Chain A
Amino acid sequence: QLQLQGSGPGLVKPSETLSLTCTVSGGSISSSSYYWGWIRQPPGKGLEWIGSIYYSGNTYYNPSLKSRVTISVDTSKNQFSLKLSSVTAADTAVYYCARQPHITIFGVVTSPSWFDPWGQGTLVTVSS
């Protein structure tokens, strides 16, 4: 059974860089069938997609965060990571990692789709 486990500091100072890692177990991050994504949820609010990465290193980022986000993958460790720079209090949120399957139409791989499963989430607070 595939599991995702996020890890990283729970407290980051304003203007610094938030760094989180997601470790995948029970399956390979190098599968051609999946992207791997980061989604965040501010306290009491909804879900916001941050970005997604393929095992080859191909990435998609949310345009609203693109200038501050870097997502990378380490296939040897079965991990992918998120870096968000110049954080402010508005970046305080629970950060989730999740697997994102490709849609396959008549055997042809098209695009990343929904998110399943999700990691347990890491609360990151931005505060001095």
Chain B
Amino acid sequence: EIVMTQSPATLSVSPGERATLSCRASQSVSSYLAWYQQKPGQAPRLLIYDASTRATGIPARFSGSGSGTEFTLTISSLQSEDFAVYYCQQYNNWPPWTFGQGTKVEIK
């Protein structure tokens, strides 16, 4: 099973600032990585797939990068609606499809 490790657990950022979230895989997942955003009481929403492709309707301030075992989600200028928990998920080696434990982006 591939273990996904996200860091940091919590990221405190001021509105308008850049946020950089990391996701590391225990072995290579090529570019088969997705990112999700989850707000309290809501289901996760797909942001990025194939490591760097934005899903339909996702603003350009969200970008993904990386391959192999190291991945990054960058939010270029945080808006109030971006404060949430973010998860990464690999789909290279399965089953199981596995998620990271999440990074909470909170207001500084």
A residues sitting closer than 8 Å to B (CB atoms) are 37, 46-49, 52, 60-64, 96, 103, 111-121
Contact = CB atoms under 8 A, between A and B. Distances in A.
Contact of A118 (B32, B43, B96): B43
Interface residues of B, number: 22
The 6 A-B residue pairs whose C-beta atoms are closest, nearest first, are A114-B34, A116-B46, A118-B43, A47-B99, A113-B91, A62-B96
Nearest to A113: B91
Would you call the interface of chain B mostly helix, strand, loop, or mixed? loop
A117 B46 CA distance: 7
A47 B86 CA distance: 11
16 contacts: A37-B97, A46-B87, A46-B99, A46-B101, A47-B89, A47-B102, A49-B98, A60-B95, A63-B96, A96-B44, A103-B32, A111-B94, A113-B34, A115-B36, A118-B44, A119-B43
Contacts of B95: 49, 60-63
B49 interface: yes
A49 to B, nearest CB: 5
